[in-house]
Amino acid sequence: MSQFASSADIVVRPLREADLDLADQVLRLAFGTFLGAPDPARFMGDVAYVRPRWRSDPGAAFAAEIGGVLVGSNFAANWGSVGYFGPLTVRPDLWDRGIASRLMAPVLERFAAWGTRQAGLFTFPHSPKHLSLYQKFGFWPRSLTPIMSRSVRAAGGTAGWSRFSDVPRAEQAAMLVQCRELTTAVYEGLDLTREIAAVEAHRLGESVLVWDGGRLVALAVCHYGAGTEGGSGACYVKFGAARPGPRAGEHFGQLLDACEALAARERLPRLVAGVSTARHEAYRQMLGRGFRADRLGVAMHRGNDAGYHRAGVFAVDDWR
């Protein structure tokens, strides 16, 4: 099957539930091989992307197959005016035959249908192949995105913050409106409510809400537990942001404290968050709080548009 005749043999289609096991295997093998892991098939332990992404939005998950066998997948994420894609993975024995390029078409089509204004991705800054692949589709490398972590101190109560899962069901829709109002102040149209709802519906972790005098001033979407993007060993802040304004830095600090308190409460040893170095003050605040980079990615932006990756924005995310 690795001797397929031409790109006409590659079929790109929606990812189906029956594909999930194989898509997960291909993803681990692809990253494990690229990064030189000793046992690529088991790479990333109980961290998972395929199932949580598919369950969160089955209409934004795509497969490539050859001869009826899945050989790669790609996922798009809808954050309102912002969209990103990945993980994009291809079975290693079939690299450099145009399969990933074919898996770009459906995510670009999703962005068009969603009216995505800022589109981007996270990739490996040391790989000429990766940069060149995405540049072909109009995405350009901008800031570094260190994936940072620190050990969790046994600290923190719940003063000043609350958990989305504690919001009574009848009030959740109104709470999502407040969340959207905060993120759209960070970047017009930025909307994390699908992520918050997916975490709640599929028990992927918790969303953290930070309050100041009854006003929502910061929020974070955290994944943790086996089979999530955090895995069983970490609280992974997939997105976090403080409301812009003179006290944004202070509220951002409170948000990081709240995420750490959540992690301590869930007995998770590490707190993980990616941050764009373009968000200079946020990056420096994380360094000052003892976060260290475990590895580096680079954000590639369609049309080289900075979007909300700029100084003065107190937000963490990494578009993985």
Ligand X SMILES: CC(C)(COP(=O)(O)OP(=O)(O)OC[C@H]1O[C@@H](n2cnc3c(N)ncnc32)[C@H](O)[C@@H]1OP(=O)(O)O)[C@@H](O)C(=O)NCCC(=O)NCCS
**What's the token pair of residue 116?**
């995505």
Kind of pairing, strands 231-242 and 315-317?
Answer: antiparallel
Q: Please, which residue, 87 or 189, has the CB nearer to ligand X? A: 87
Q: Please, which residue, 74 or 207, has the CB nearer to ligand X? A: 74
- Provide, rounded to whole angstroms, the least separation between the CB of residue 271 and ligand X: 24
**What's the token pair of residue 212?**
């100041």
CA–CA separation, 243 and 191 (whole Å): 13
- Provide, rounded to whole angstroms, the least separation between the CB of residue 102 and ligand X: 7
Segment 61-120, which members bind ligand X (CB under 6 A)?
A: 86-90, 95-101
CA–CA separation, 15 and 21 (whole Å): 11
| Interaction of residue 36 with ligand X, rule CB under 6 A | no
CA–CA separation, 1 and 88 (whole Å): 21
| Interaction of residue 184 with ligand X, rule CB under 6 A | no
| Interaction of residue 292 with ligand X, rule CB under 6 A | no
- Interface residue with ligand X among 13, 16, 42, 129 (CB under 6 A) is 129
Q: Please, which residue, 96 or 171, has the CB nearer to ligand X? A: 96
User: Cα 97 to the chain's mean position, in Å?
Assistant: 27
| Unique residue bearing structure tokens 């997939």 | 238
| Interaction of residue 197 with ligand X, rule CB under 6 A | no
- Interface residue with ligand X among 37, 133, 216, 264 (CB under 6 A) is 133
| Interaction of residue 56 with ligand X, rule CB under 6 A | no
- Interface residue with ligand X among 31, 236, 239, 319 (CB under 6 A) is 31
Q: Please, which residue, 136 or 292, has the CB nearer to ligand X? A: 136
**What's the token pair of residue 108?**
């670009």
Kind of pairing, strands 139-151 and 315-317?
Answer: unpaired
- Provide, rounded to whole angstroms, the least separation between the CB of residue 318 and ligand X: 11
| Interaction of residue 145 with ligand X, rule CB under 6 A | no
Q: Please, which residue, 101 or 232, has the CB nearer to ligand X? A: 101
| Interaction of residue 140 with ligand X, rule CB under 6 A | no
Where is 151: in which H helix or E strand? strand 139-151
| CA distances to 15, 207, 242 from 1, in Å | 20, 44, 50
CA–CA separation, 224 and 265 (whole Å): 12
| Residues near ligand X (CB under 6 A) | 30-31, 34, 86-90, 95-101, 123, 128-130, 132-133, 136
